[in-house]
Structure 1
Amino acid sequence: MIFAIHVQHLNSGAVMLAIRLSDDIESRLDSLAKKTGRTKTFYAREAILTHLEDLEDYYLAAETVERIRRGEESMHSSEDVRKSLGLDD
């Protein structure tokens, strides 16, 4: 699959993002748009929004794991946290 991104800032404050998709993905997207009466842009935006939070969470977690491995971040057991909050009384 070819993947390239071109970003253009528009006067409205929005950003136009152009991506290249394989013929297969573009065909599937086009078919879905035609069947549902929505635009390909709608579905591309929905796909990005659906997965963006998961990707952000993944990379934040990966960064945290690296800080832990380098000794820059400490870990606490759930037992210690519960005790410090007075939840195990």
Structure 2
Amino acid sequence: MAISVRLTPEDEQRLEQLAARTGRSKSFYVREAIHEHLDDLEERCWADRVIRGWEESGKESRPADELWAELGLRVAGDWKPRRSSIARPENSTDQR
């Protein structure tokens, strides 16, 4: 499918320089940019649907740090998760 896109002179120059530097076509980079951005947009739409569904369900929610503390992954108020035996089998040789 062919499509026409208007770029600012700055974006056009950046695209041309990138294509010249790498030996790839401008079309390649336009397709890549669209592909990446569509992935992001689709993920945002999915997240919005999930959040809306949760809100409409009437279920109660709680802060994530409380859940992590309950699972032993974080102490309430801590900023970084703790390692958990849940994440690694007991017989694992990985000594992180």
Q: TM-score range by the shorter chain?
A: 0.5 to 0.7
- Mapped pair 1:52 → 2:38: yes
When the two structures are aligned, how many residues end up with a matched partner? 66
**Higher strand proportion:** 1
**TM-score, length of structure 2 as denominator length:** 0.53
- Distance, in Å, in 2 between the alignment partners of 1:57 and 1:32 is 27
1:39 to 2:42 alignment: no
Q: CA deviation at 1:28?
A: 0.1
Kindly state the Cα deviation for residue 71 of structure 1 after the two structures are TM-superposed: 3.1
Q: Considering Cα pairs closer than 8 Å and 6+ residues apart, tell me whether 1 or 2 has the greater RCO.
A: 1
Aligned-residue identity in percent:
38
The structure number with the bigger radius of gyration is 2
TM-score using structure 1 length: 0.56
Q: Which runs of 5+ in 2 are unaligned?
A: 61-66, 68-96
Runs of 4+ in 1 over 3 A off after TM superposition: none
